Structure 1
Amino acid sequence: MDVTGLPSGTVYPALRRLQQLELIKSNWEGERTAFAEQRPPRKYYRLTREGKGTLAKALERYALFEQLVTAEKSKRR
């Protein structure tokens, strides 16, 4: 949660929803690795092909939104 600054109660439900939508997949690391490092196993997430496409579309929409907000701010000055 250090990267996002969001609590685990926000992050993990969001990851579950993304997985249910098949936008991400997850897998557990090997127990040997975790045991060797004396910690619980980590769960790794990766984008699916559909997830990558959805992300690309979202980034396009965000860029457009950012342009519109910037233009509106410029008008108000």
Structure 2
Amino acid sequence: MKLDTLRGQLDALVLAVLEQGPLHGYAIITTLKARSGGSLDLPTGTIYPALRRLERAEYVSSDWSTVAGRKRRTYELTPAGRRALASERDTWKTFSGIVGGVLGSG
């Protein structure tokens, strides 16, 4: 899937993945890929700026940990992030209904 298609939706997708629990950046990438059946194979240069943006908005928090001798930054959804995700889901339902109505089945 082209990155342009995701524009405006990436933050909501990352929040949805983090809803299941804390993850480090690479795990977020692999989870997005798995949950999309391989369609979302995003580069790290896309995910990490989104995570920083979400952290500045206080939708996610992060903490450093060491796993198998390697330092990793783990991201977790905040209460504000849960509210933002709920709002994004409502917006998506409305938007997808409108687009589906316009595009129809051809």
Unaligned runs of 5+ in 2: 1-28, 33-40
Aligned match for 1:57, one of 78, 87, 105: 87
Task: Report the secondary structure of 1:22's partner residue.
Answer: coil
**1:25 has 2:53 as partner:** no
Q: 1:1-77 counterparts in 2 under 5 A?
A: 1-4=29-32, 5-29=41-65, 31=66, 34=67, 37=68, 39-74=69-104, 77=106
> What is the distance in 2 between the residues matched to 1:28 and 1:58?
28
> What is the distance in 2 between the residues matched to 1:51 and 1:66?
22
Task: Report the secondary structure of 1:3's partner residue.
Answer: helix
**CA radius of gyration, larger in:** 1
> What is the distance in 1 between the residues matched to 2:57 and 2:64?
19
TM-score, structure 2 normalization:
0.58
State how many pairs are aligned: 70
Unaligned runs of 5+ in 1: none
> What is the distance in 2 between the residues matched to 1:47 and 1:3?
15
**More relative contact order, 1 or 2 (CA 8 Å, 6+ apart):** 2
> What is the distance in 1 between the residues matched to 2:50 and 2:74?
14
Same amino acid, percent of matched pairs: 33
TM-score, structure 1 normalization:
0.77
